[in-house]
């Protein structure tokens, strides 16, 4: 287990380094930041001054190394637009995205895992059909459209929920449903498929032959094996929900990091974009690492060599 | 000897797209305390379905019916799933063909071994643990205590099957059903496992139903034999009766397939039974072995009556006993097959 953990950890570090290189290079390709910062009326000498001031004239690898060194110390630079440290900006915006991401993945898991299990227990029953229908609709319907429909329904026709802002928990209800529903089909189908496969396996027959109670067979012997692939999928989905909530945050005017990223791209606010991409990538890496550990805990074939 | 399990007229029908598959077509079985019954037959003859139907482990779409199916005097078919699950693993236990996949990969050997005792006897973890260690030693596993913490993937097939046997014995069941327990194992391990099963059966004095297609196995461990073909028992009797005086042409064919040391000449052809098993979908009439049988006549298309020679000794054929006996002596050309086969 220790060797496995160390291996996974080093893999995570390598991925993080790769991500930082890619993040940095992408920004180098996306236009001259000095021109963007100086504004449209700036003279050539102004641009040159800004270029020197922010170090854009130095070789690329030097710029990268100093950026990494500072990032490691928690200094992600100054926002060109807000003129405040990026870290402060993130401290304000990230919690909103985190709350949305956590509640959306919770919503998705609470909805899809039990439904997937029930569907697998009674394949081709009305419940299975219902679950299938729910996931087909979820897969086919664009999130933004569902968001708009929810706003029409719960914000306009029956005004019970606030439509915009991020001041109270009620602001998060509709975004959570929209974002969580997006992840539901995949998790539910994988749970159902995994459960069906496991329920037909020889060791479930053994468990029945031992006369074990139904719930012991289902929860102890079947579910644990069925959810192993679901853990990895949910981790990826969760990462996606943290970073990919740009559209949802924009629609509901939730001032989260996704929304900030979208704004900053338009403003060519390089340090902010870099920081957000980096932070979200690190989230992904940490989540993958954690899901690997969770899988190892669930599956002794990974844990015990 | 009181019967632990008594079955008459057991039928298993499975609905398939082309109609009903009559997988088991009216069989009678009985096995008493301390007795070993071997069910022999080729793949698809309904052996495994018979055993699964006794345990109540068939999928719900399979239809099981019987004139009588009593386990220690209680009718199995009228029991609810809950009542059945109280008996399963406690008073009757099963050992499966696939030791590699029959243990849950996520739980330790100990955890899985202890389950039946905790479920059925309200045993404490400590008691269950002690019993598990005791039985692991009984089935010939060394360092039993440390094995409890191991996981299935760390054990070989032979060891896993020993674990399965120990698991079946946890509650000291009256009936053990072993469905081809050695098929998936190395030849060298097969003999050990069978020997072990026979020994433990004696020691625990339970009834054993051993399902196999290996006549050598039957000769060594069986008290009674039931030869199955296409969902029916074509011949049954005490092991020495069936081996030394096989009556049904199918049984004769099977025995003719075994090479016998010292008798079968080197390089000579072993017997084989031509043809394949007929489909059991839809209604069938007459003897289902007739298209593979050298002695088949018009009468075989109409009926395959049960001829009972003595209690527990019968065969299914239109031909009389003495004619079958004569034919058997010609095809096999040797007596004392039992000693030879078990050699």
pLDDT digits (tens, 9 = 90+) for B74-118: 999 999 999 999 999 999 999 999 999 999 999 999 999 999 999
Torsion angle (degrees, nearest 10) of CA B169, B173, B179, B182: 30
Domain boundary among B153, B170, B187: B170
Helix, strand, or coil here: A282?
helix
Nearest chain B alpha carbon to A300: B106
Residue among B88, B104, B105 whose CB faces A211 most closely: B88
User: Residue B132 belongs to what domain range?
Assistant: 102-170
Instruction: Check if A72 contacts B (Cβ < 8 Å).
Output: no
pLDDT of residue A223: 94
- The model scores a pTM over 0.80: yes
Phi, psi at A198, each rounded to 5°: -65, -40
* Domain-embedded: residue B121: yes
Listed range (A24-38, A288-302, B42-56, B158-172) with the worst mean pLDDT: A24-38
Residue A180 in any domain: the answer is yes
Neighboring chain A residues of B101 at a CB cutoff of 8 Å: 201-203
Which positions in chain A touch B102 (Cβ < 8 Å)? 202-203, 205-206
Instruction: Report how far residue B104's alpha carbon sits from residue A220's, in angstroms, rounded to the nearest whole number.
Output: 10
Contacts of B318 (CB under 8 A, 6+ apart): B287, B297, B299, B300, B303, B304, B305
CA–CA separation, B127 vs B139, rounded Å? Answer: 18
Determine the pLDDT at residue A24.
82
User: Is B304 inside any structural domain?
Assistant: yes
Residue A170 has pLDDT above 90, yes or no: no
| DSSP H or E run through B225 | strand B224-229
Cβ neighbours of residue B116 closer than 8 Å, sequence gap 6 or more: A210, A211, A212, B89, B90, B93, B167, B170, B171
- Interface test with chain A among B115, B153, B163, by most A beta carbons within 10 Å: B115
Q: Is the pLDDT of residue A37 over 80?
A: no
A31-35 average pLDDT score:
72
Domain for residue B338, yes or no? yes
| Boundary (domain end) residue, out of B170, B186, B217 | B170
Q: Please list the ranges in chain B whose pLDDT falls under 50.
A: 335
Determine contact, residues B340/B246, Cβ cutoff 8 Å: no
Between B248 and A49, the higher pLDDT residue: B248
Torsion of CA B74, B57, A114, A116, to 10 degrees: -150
Distance from the A296 Cα atom to the nearest Cα atom in chain B, whole angstroms:
10
3 state DSSP class of A131: helix
Asked if the structure places residue A42 within a domain, the reply is no
Mean pLDDT of the A254-276 span = 86
Does B265 fall in a domain? yes
Report if residue A191 sits inside a domain: yes
Range of the domain at A262: 95-303
Q: How many CB pairs under 8 A join A and B?
A: 80
Question: Among B99, B197, B220, B111, which Cα is nearest to B153's?
Answer: B99
Residue A79: closest CA among A258, A246, A265: A265
The runs of H, that is alpha helices, within A73-172 are 86-121, 126-140, 143-150
Of B147, B170, B193, the domain-final residue: B170
CATH number at residue A121: 1.10.3720.10
Quickly state the pLDDT bin for A163 (edges 50, 70, 90). Answer: confident
Token pair recorded at residue B141: 């596993």
CB nearest A209 (choices: B89, B108, B153): B89
At A268 the pLDDT is: 79
Interface residue A66 vs chain B (CB under 8 A): no
DSSP A257: H
Q: Do A206 and B164 touch (CB under 8 A)?
A: yes
**Helix crossing, A173-199 with A86-121: angle to 10°?**
40
pLDDT of B262 reads 65
Q: What pLDDT is attached to residue A27? A: 67
Please tell me the distance from the alpha carbon of residue A107 to that of residue A177, in angstroms, as a whole number: 7
Asked if the structure places residue B119 within a domain, the reply is: yes
CB-based burial, B286-320: b 16+ in 10 Å, e otherwise? ebbbbebbeebeeebeeebeebeeeeebbbbbbbe
Q: Do B116 and A210 touch (CB under 8 A)?
A: yes
The answer to whether residue A115 sits within a structural domain is: yes
Q: What is the mean pLDDT of chain A?
A: 88
Q: How many domains does chain A have?
A: 1
Residue B308 backbone zone (phi > 0: left; psi -120 to 50: alpha; other: beta): beta
Query: How close is the nearest chain A Cα to the Cα of B211, in Å?
Result: 16
Range with the poorest average pLDDT among A126-135, A216-225, B1-10, B83-92: B1-10
Could you give the CA distance from residue B235 to residue B222 in angstroms, rounded to a whole number? 15
Residue of B nearest to A211 (CA): B85
Q: Are strands B175-179 and B74-75 parallel, antiparallel or unpaired?
A: unpaired
Q: Is residue A287, in this structure, part of any structural domain at all?
A: yes
Task: Test B119 with A304 for CB contact under 8 angstroms.
Answer: no
Give ipTM to 2 decimals.
Answer: 0.89
The number of folded domains in chain B is 2
Tokens (6 digits) for B27: 């069989």
A202 in contact with B, Cβ within 8 Å: yes
- Retrieve residue B297's tokens: 């006549």
Contacts of A244 (CB under 8 A, 6+ apart): A258
For A82, the token pair is: 């807000």
Binding-site residues on chain B for chain A (CB distance < 8 A) = 55, 57, 84-90, 93-94, 96, 98, 101-108, 115-116, 119-120, 151, 153-154, 164, 167
């Amino acid at each position: 287990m220790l060797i496995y953990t160390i291996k996974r950890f080093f893999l995570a570090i390598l991925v993080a380094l790769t991500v930082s290189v890619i993040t940095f290079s992408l920004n180098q390709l996306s236009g001259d930041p000095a021109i963007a910062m100086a504004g449209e009326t700036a003279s050539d000498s102004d641009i040159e001054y800004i270029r020197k001031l922010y170090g854009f004239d130095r070789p690329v690898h030097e710029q990268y190394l100093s950026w990494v060194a500072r990032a490691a110390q928690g200094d992600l630079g100054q926002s060109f637009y807000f003129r405040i440290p990026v870290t402060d900006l993130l401290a304000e915006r990230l919690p909103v995205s985190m709350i949305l991401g956590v509640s959306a993945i919770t919503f998705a898991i609470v909805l899809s895992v039990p439904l997937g299990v029930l569907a697998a227990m009674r394949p081709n029953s009305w419940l299975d059909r219902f679950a299938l229908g729910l996931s087909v609709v979820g897969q086919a319907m664009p999130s933004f459209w569902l968001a708009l429909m929810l706003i029409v329904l719960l914000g306009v026709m029956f005004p019970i929920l606030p439509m915009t802002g991020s001041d109270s928990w009620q602001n998060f209800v509709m975004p959570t449903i929209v974002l969580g529903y997006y992840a539901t089909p995949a998790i539910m189908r994988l749970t159902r498929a995994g459960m069906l496969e496991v329920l037909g396996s020889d060791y479930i027959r053994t468990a029945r032959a031992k006369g074990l109670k139904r719930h012991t067979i289902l929860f102890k012997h079947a579910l644990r094996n069925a959810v192993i692939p679901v853990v990895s999928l949910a981790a990826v989905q969760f990462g996606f929900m943290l970073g990919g909530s740009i559209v949802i945050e924009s629609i509901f005017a939730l001032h989260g990091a996704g929304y900030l990223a979208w704004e900053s791209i338009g403003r060519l606010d390089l340090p902010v974009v870099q920081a957000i991409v980096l932070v979200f990538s690190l989230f992904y890496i940490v989540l993958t690492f954690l899901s690997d550990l969770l899988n190892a805990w669930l599956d002794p074939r990974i844990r015990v060599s | 000897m009181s019967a632990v399990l008594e079955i008459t007229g057991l039928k298993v029908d499975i609905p398939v797209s082309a109609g009903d598959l009559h997988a088991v077509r009216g069989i009678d079985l009985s096995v008493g305390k301390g007795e070993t019954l071997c069910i022999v037959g080729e793949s698809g003859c309904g052996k495994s379905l018979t055993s699964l139907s006794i345990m109540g482990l068939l999928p719900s779409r399979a239809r099981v019916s019987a004139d009588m199916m009593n386990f220690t005097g209680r009718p199995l078919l009228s029991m609810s799933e809950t009542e059945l699950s109280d008996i399963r693993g406690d008073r009757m236990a099963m050992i499966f063909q696939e030791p590699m996949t029959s243990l849950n990969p996520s739980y330790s050997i100990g955890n899985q071994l202890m389950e039946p005792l905790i479920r059925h006897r309200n045993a404490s973890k400590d008691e269950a643990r002690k019993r598990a260690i005791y039985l692991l030693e009984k089935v010939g596993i060394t360092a039993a205590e440390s094995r409890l913490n191991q996981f299935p993937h760390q054990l070989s097939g032979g060891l896993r099957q020993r674990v399965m046997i120990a698991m079946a014995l946890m509650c000291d069941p009256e009936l053990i059903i072993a469905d081809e327990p050695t098929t998936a194992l190395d030849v060298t391990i097969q003999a050990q496992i069978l020997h072990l099963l026979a020994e433990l059966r004696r020691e625990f004095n339970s009834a054993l139903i051993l399902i196999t297609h290996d006549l050598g196995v039957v000769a060594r461990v069986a008290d009674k034999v039931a030869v199955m073909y296409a969902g029916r028992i074509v011949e049954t009797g005490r092991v020495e009766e069936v081996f030394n005086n096989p009556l049904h042409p199918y049984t004769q064919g099977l025995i003719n397939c075994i090479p016998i040391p010292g008798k079968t000449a080197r390089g000579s052809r072993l017997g084989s039974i031509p043809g394949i098993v007929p489909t059991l979908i839809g209604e069938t009439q007459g003897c289902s072995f007739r298209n593979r049988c050298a002695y088949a006549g018009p009468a075989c298309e109409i009926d395959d009556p049960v001829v009972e020679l003595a209690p527990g000794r019968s065969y299914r054929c239109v031909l009389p006993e003495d004619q079958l006996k004569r034919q058997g002596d010609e095809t096999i050309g040797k007596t004392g097959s039992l000693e030879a086969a078990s050699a």
